[in-house]
Amino acid sequence: MKSYIHNLNKAFENRIRLGIMSVLMVHDSVDFSTMKETLDLTDGNLASHIMALEKEGYIHVKKEFVGKKPLTTYSVTKIGMKAFNDHLDALEKLLKTR
């Protein structure tokens, strides 16, 4: 059983990061406001967890202007998709052990 625990990804241990990745896995991209509302987070809390996932290379952050308003969107990278799927597989295997 120990080997399954070692396959869990530390980046996804936090419930907020797990939530961010879960949202991004089912959407091509999500803007800051939608992510914040979906997960019921403060601006600073979301921003700090986004930075941690971006640092790992798991998400891509795109900043642009639409008219005169800033728009920040997030999407999962290929590396992030693999890492998250591997994490979910490890969880599933852990749950199936007896």
Domain spans of the chain? 2-96
Q: Which of 60, 64, 90 is nearest to 75 (CA)?
A: 60
Query: Partners of 69 in the beta sheet?
Result: 66
Rounded-to-integer distance, Cα 61 and Cα 74, Å: 5
Note the pLDDT tens digit of each residue in 10-48: 999 999 999 999 999 999 999 999 999 999 999 999 999
Rounded-to-integer distance, Cα 37 and Cα 19, Å: 12
Q: Is the pTM of this model over 0.85?
A: yes
Q: Which CATH number fits domain 2-96: 1.20.120.420, 3.90.640.10, 1.10.10.10, 3.40.30.10?
A: 1.10.10.10
Rounded-to-integer distance, Cα 85 and Cα 80, Å: 8
Report helix, strand or coil for 24.
Answer: helix
| pLDDT band at residue 1 using 50, 70 and 90 as cut-offs | very low
